[in-house]
Amino acid sequence: MNLWKQQILAIMRIDLAKTFFSRRGLWIYALAFCPAVPMLGLLLLGRGQRQLGDDVQIFAGIFQFFFLRVAIFFGCVGIFMNLFRGEMLDKSLHYYLLAPLRREVIVAGKFLSGLIAAIVIFCGSVLVQWFLLFIHHGSILNAYMFSGPGLSHLVSYVIAAALACIGYGSVFLWAGVRYRNPLIPAAVILVWESANGILPALLKKISIIYWLQSVCPISIPAPRGPGQGILALLISDINPAPARVAILNLLLLAAFVLIWAALRARKMEIAYATD
Amino acid sequence: MIVHREPEAIVFENVSKFYGETLGVNKVSLSIPPGITSLVGPNGSGKTTLMNLIAGLLQPTRGSIAVCGLSPGDPERFFRTVGYATQYDGFPRGLTGWQFVHGYLRLFGFSPADTERMAWEAIDRAGLREAAPRKIAGYSKGMRQRIKLAQAIAHRPRVLVLDEPLNGLDPLARAETIALFRDLGREGSHVLISSHVLHEVDLISDQVVMMSQGYVVAEGQIRGVRSEISDQPMQILIRCDKPEYLAARLFQQEQVVEARVHADRGGLLVRTRHAESFYKLLNHIALNGVQIESVAPADEDAQSVYEYLIGHEEPTK
């Protein structure tokens, strides 16, 4: 095992424990698993009253409107921005900066720690939600999963959640390295991502949510009637990109942003008093 | 001052650091040889800035720094040579003392067996074996200082940079820590310490660097620095059997500025502008019936030199 791998693993041992078991991170668990609460309610109270097709639409709606745009977005803000900025506020970042570590290795180690935590939490939540929403269908679910598109849908949702963690995670890690107050760029990104539905076709593609929606297996139809103006902000009507292209683009975006963050980290100074 | 890239020295070449428009340090050119060097200066004089520049936590606005020929821009080699205990009281959340030192050593890529052995050695040297399994969040200030010291020495660096390492230590721990510094100095390490306790600077240091308002105002061995302060007469304490008589004799001499009988009447304090000729004169007087027990400089210490150069400002960090 070469030195960089050992160093990255050593960073991950410290940072994973902090991310998973920190009391400060409890709200991220709450955010990730809050969609499971109404699903548990439906399971307990509404057994046998819904068709499978209804549940497929409910899951798609919750995943695209809440889980990707709110839960994973803010969860990644909490996890990835704190990797550097949180340690700057705790006055503990110098621990890594005084070790024989290239700054690029620190960025890689911290990103992977955040990514593993985010994927475990959010992809785990997808699986729990799926189970709670569909379990009551019994033999119909079996047919949907193993003879129909159910399993590939579930895999697509898990991949979309993981890609959201990679995409938003890389951007928020960069913001944490680059800005003293990274909440401002996070707010700008939130507005941009939220307005994706009303942007011209070309501009839609300069976002993470467009590519994530392209990975989702079910398109949500544009709503009709009252309230469509507000929902139009969230719903993209353009043709989604092929899933492979979307995955590749998201990975390339993350790689580009991480390289930028690593270059920026080389110039990072410890000036706790001013942070 | 001309500075050469000496392979065993900490070398600053015309280094300046500005925080926006605020001066950190300015035009520092220094060459610090191995041994124990104390960095002394009042609050805001630039001591911590200088140390952070050495360790690469800050980057100079101008100039360059080399530690044993290495630059912090090459961290993989640099931090195998340099250990730094900062003044920052922040630790990665949730770690025990053991995890703090052990986790740091893991970043060096040592084998698991070596990592464990070196971690215990460092913790033992810092006197924290019993407290090592406890979380750092529950440590006293002195224990936190010692675990930082353990971390800084754990990989056996040739250069040790310590920012106020004695702060918060009880007297016994202070004595043990000073003994540890001396051991490290004897082993040929660089030990660069910032301290505001000037009598400890005298005890610890082979040389001093004095800073004021971002500038280095003096560097070298205390005696050498003192001898260069020509505008302040040298103070010499003479222990003898006839201090009043000796004072009267000396006061007639041209090179003596002041001669004062000591409060215990067992000697006198003399101030002179020409120490060399004064010592010759003293030999002559001693041959004429005065029993001289000892003659010693009274202001060749960090406190006096500090007061001459920087004034009476409290030398805190």
Q: Are strands B207-212 and B35-40 parallel, antiparallel or unpaired?
A: parallel
Nearest by CB to B57, from A6, A10, A269: name it. A269
Q: Do residue B274 and residue B139 come from a single domain?
A: no
- Report yes or no: A90 at the B interface, CB cutoff 8 Å: yes
Q: Do residue B45 and residue B85 come from a single domain?
A: yes
Q: State the nearest Cα–Cα gap between A98 and chain B, in angstroms.
A: 7
Q: What is the pTM of this model?
A: 0.85
**How many structural domains comprise chain B?**
2
Residues of A within 8 A of B55 (CB-CB) are 98
Tokens of B252: 């007639």
- Report yes or no: A13 at the B interface, CB cutoff 8 Å: yes
- Asked if the structure places residue B5 within a domain, the reply is no
Whose tokens are 């040579």? That residue is B81
User: Which of B185, B209, B227 is the last residue before a domain boundary?
Assistant: B227
Q: What is the pLDDT of residue B75?
A: 94
- Asked if the structure places residue A275 within a domain, the reply is no
Nearest CA in chain B to A15: B92
If phi over 0 gives left and psi between -120 and 50 gives alpha, with beta otherwise, what is residue B289?
A: left
Residues of A within 8 A of B109 (CB-CB) are 3, 6-7
- Report yes or no: A11 at the B interface, CB cutoff 8 Å: yes
- Asked if the structure places residue B312 within a domain, the reply is no
Q: State the nearest Cα–Cα gap between A85 and chain B, in angstroms.
A: 13
- Asked if the structure places residue B317 within a domain, the reply is no
Residue B96 bridge partners (DSSP): B135
- Report yes or no: A7 at the B interface, CB cutoff 8 Å: yes
Q: Do residue B152 and residue B285 come from a single domain?
A: no
From residue B237, how far is each of A73, B172, B258, B295, B297 by CA, in Å? 74, 31, 12, 6, 6
Q: Check B79 against A90: CB less than 8 A apart.
A: no
Q: Check A91 against B107: CB less than 8 A apart.
A: no
> In the structure, what pLDDT confidence band is assigned to residue B299 with cuts at 50, 70 and 90?
confident
The CATH number for B276's domain is 3.30.70.920
- Asked if the structure places residue B57 within a domain, the reply is yes
Q: Do residue B294 and residue B202 come from a single domain?
A: no
- Asked if the structure places residue A274 within a domain, the reply is no
Q: Do residue B277 and residue B133 come from a single domain?
A: no
**B-contacting residues in A 130-159 (Cβ below 8 Å):** none
Q: Do residue B162 and residue B79 come from a single domain?
A: yes
Look up the domain containing A148 and give its range: 3-43+50-269
CA distance A164 to B163: 43
Residues of B within 8 A of A97 (CB-CB) are 56-57
Q: Do residue B36 and residue B82 come from a single domain?
A: yes
Q: Check B103 against A10: CB less than 8 A apart.
A: yes
User: Looking at this protein, which amino acid is placed at residue B91?
Assistant: F
| pLDDT tens-digit map of A115-146 | 999 999 999 999 999 999 888 888 888 888 88
Q: State the nearest Cα–Cα gap between B153 and chain A, in angstroms.
A: 12
Tokens of B220: 């070298």
Q: Are strands B159-163 and B190-194 parallel, antiparallel or unpaired?
A: parallel
Q: Running DSSP on this structure, what letter comes out for residue B33? A: P
- Asked if the structure places residue A114 within a domain, the reply is yes
- Asked if the structure places residue B112 within a domain, the reply is yes
Q: Find the chain B residues whose C-beta atoms sit closer than 8 A to any C-beta of A.
A: 19, 52, 55-59, 75-80, 83-84, 86, 88-95, 99-100, 103-104, 106-109
- Asked if the structure places residue B2 within a domain, the reply is no
pLDDT over 80 at B48, yes or no = yes
| pLDDT tens-digit map of B226-242 | 777 777 788 888 888 88
Q: Do residue B185 and residue B265 come from a single domain?
A: no
- Report yes or no: A3 at the B interface, CB cutoff 8 Å: yes
- Mean pLDDT, chain B, rounded, equals 87
Tokens of A43: 């399971």
* CA dihedral sign of residues A46, A52, A57, A62: positive
> In the structure, what pLDDT confidence band is assigned to residue B317 with cuts at 50, 70 and 90?
very low
Q: Do residue B174 and residue B238 come from a single domain?
A: no
Q: Check A99 against B86: CB less than 8 A apart.
A: no
pLDDT over 80 at A51, yes or no = yes
Q: Average pLDDT, stretch B39-57?
A: 92
Q: Do residue B137 and residue B200 come from a single domain?
A: yes
Q: State the nearest Cα–Cα gap between A179 and chain B, in angstroms.
A: 16
Q: What is the pLDDT of residue B4?
A: 46
- Report yes or no: A5 at the B interface, CB cutoff 8 Å: no
- Asked if the structure places residue B307 within a domain, the reply is no
> Counting every residue, how long is chain B?
317
Nearest CA in chain B to A273: B88
HSE at residue B304, side-chain half, CA atoms within 13 A, is 17
> In the structure, what pLDDT confidence band is assigned to residue A223 with cuts at 50, 70 and 90?
low
User: Which of B227, B244, B262 is the last residue before a domain boundary?
Assistant: B227
- Asked if the structure places residue B31 within a domain, the reply is yes
- Mean pLDDT, chain A, rounded, equals 89
Whose tokens are 């949702």? That residue is A157
Q: State the nearest Cα–Cα gap between B214 and chain A, in angstroms.
A: 17
> In the structure, what pLDDT confidence band is assigned to residue B47 with cuts at 50, 70 and 90?
very high
Nearest by CB to B103, from A14, A267, A272: name it. A14
CA distance A81 to A179: 10
Q: How many CB pairs under 8 A join A and B?
A: 85
pLDDT over 90 at A273, yes or no = no
Distance of CA B8 to the CA centre of its chain: 18
- Report yes or no: A113 at the B interface, CB cutoff 8 Å: no
DSSP H or E segment with residue B12: strand B10-19
From residue B46, how far is each of B25, B66, B106, B213, B240 by CA, in Å? 6, 18, 32, 7, 44
> In the structure, what pLDDT confidence band is assigned to residue A238 with cuts at 50, 70 and 90?
low
Nearest by CB to B104, from A90, A99, A270: name it. A99
Nearest by CB to A90, from B55, B80, B93: name it. B93
Interface probe, candidates A98, A264, A275, chain B, greatest B C-beta count within 10 A: A98
pLDDT over 70 at A87, yes or no = yes
Interface pTM, i.e. ipTM: 0.84
| Secondary structure (H, E, C), chain A | CCHHHHHHHHHHHHHHHHHHHCHHHHHHHHHHHCCHHHHHHHHHHCCCCCCHHHHHHHHHHHHHHHHHHHHHHHHHHHHHHHHHHHHHHHCCCHHHHCCCCCHHHHHHHHHHHHHHHHHHHHHHHHHHHHHHHHHHHCHHHHHHHHCCCHHHHHHHHHHHHHHHHHHHHHHHHHHHHHCCCCHHHHHHHHHHHHHHHHCCHHHHCCCCHHHHHHHCCCCCCCCCCCCHHHHHCCCCCCCCCCHHHHHHHHHHHHHHHHHHHHHHHHCCCCCHHHC
Q: Do residue B43 and residue B169 come from a single domain?
A: yes
Q: Average pLDDT, stretch B115-124?
A: 96
Do residues B299 and B235 make contact, with C-beta atoms less than 8 angstroms apart?
Answer: yes
Question: By 3-state DSSP, what share of chain B in percent is helix, strand and coil, each rounded to 5?
Answer: 35, 25, 35
CA distance B271 to B282: 13
Q: Do residue B132 and residue B109 come from a single domain?
A: yes
Nearest in space to B107 (alpha carbons), one of A5, A84, A100: A100
**How many structural domains comprise chain A?**
1
| pLDDT tens-digit map of B168-203 | 888 888 888 888 888 888 888 899 999 877 777 877
B141: exposed, middle or buried (Cβ count in 10 Å: 0-12, 13-18, 19+) = exposed
Q: Check B57 against A94: CB less than 8 A apart.
A: yes
Q: Which residues contact B269 (CB under 8 A, 6 or more apart)?
A: B235, B236, B237, B238, B258, B259, B260, B262, B298
Q: What is the pLDDT of residue B49?
A: 94
Nearest by CB to B89, from A91, A98, A270: name it. A91
Nearest CA in chain A to B104: A99
| pLDDT tens-digit map of A59-84 | 999 999 899 999 999 999 999 999 99
Q: Check B92 against A92: CB less than 8 A apart.
A: yes
Look up the domain containing B115 and give its range: 10-227
HSE at residue A119, side-chain half, CA atoms within 13 A, is 14
